[in-house]
Structure formats: C-alpha cells, structure tokens
C-alpha cells in the first residue's frame, strides 16, 4: 500500500507537516514530531485506527483515499512456481532417528 497523506493535505491547502500537526492537535490528536515526520514523508510503519479516523476527519476524506492499494507489488512478492516446487522437493522425512521416551 502507498500512503497518500501529503497529496490529500495539499488538496486542503496544508503544505507543511507543522500545519497538519497543529490541525490534528486542534482535533484532539497529539502526535510527536517524529511520528508526524514519518506520516508526512510517506513511511509510516503502523497507524492506529483511531488516529486514522482523526486524520480523515481533519482532511475530510475516507481512509481509502489515504491508503492506496498496489496490487503489482503484491504480485511481485508471490514466489514463482519453479521456486515453490524446488522448496517442497527438499523437504523429506528423517528415517532411522528414534525419539526418546517422554518422562513418566
């Protein structure tokens, strides 16, 4: 997924992360400068749904406008059929190894 906060903020006339942070604070969401930087630069690793709700309220948008799917990246992560066959062929049971008796 791609994070689209800056574009949605620009559509609302918000050009700086400090302005966005102030508007979020006015709406009841206090965000640290570091977290705001990650949100603004497009590299958030996590976001709480409550926070996303406030961001959407401030920007008058829906979450689907901030989180943009990238199906081509999902397809690129899928292993090729030849790789899957090679991995399953290397798995084999171990014969001749006896298990110990569990303690009584």
Residue boundaries of the structural domains of the chain: 2-68
Question: Highest mean pLDDT range out of 1-10, 34-43, 51-60, 88-97?
Answer: 51-60
Q: Specify the pLDDT at position 81.
A: 74
Rounded to an integer, the average pLDDT of 9-22 is 96
2-68 folds as 434 Repressor (Amino-terminal Domain) (1.10.260)
Average pLDDT, the chain: 86
Residue 83 — pLDDT band, cuts 50, 70, 90?
A: low
Q: Specify the pLDDT at position 69.
A: 85
Q: 56 Cβ partners below 8 Å, 6+ apart? A: 62, 63, 66
**Residues 26-57: pLDDT tens digits?**
999 999 999 999 999 987 888 999 999 999 99
What is this structure's pTM?
0.68
What is the sign, positive or negative, of the torsion defined by CA atoms of 77, 80, 81, 82? negative
């Amino acid at each position: 997924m791609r994070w689209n906060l800056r574009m949605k903020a620009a559509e609302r006339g918000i050009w700086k992360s400090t302005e966005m942070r102030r508007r979020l604070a006015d709406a009841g969401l206090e965000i640290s400068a570091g977290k705001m930087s990650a949100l603004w630069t497009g590299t958030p690793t996590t976001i709480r749904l409550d926070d996303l709700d406030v961001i959407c309220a401030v920007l008058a948008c829906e979450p689907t406008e901030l989180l943009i799917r990238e199906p081509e990246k999902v397809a690129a992560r899928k292993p090729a059929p030849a790789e899957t066959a090679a991995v399953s062929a290397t798995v084999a049971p171990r014969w001749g190894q006896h298990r110990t008796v569990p303690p009584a």
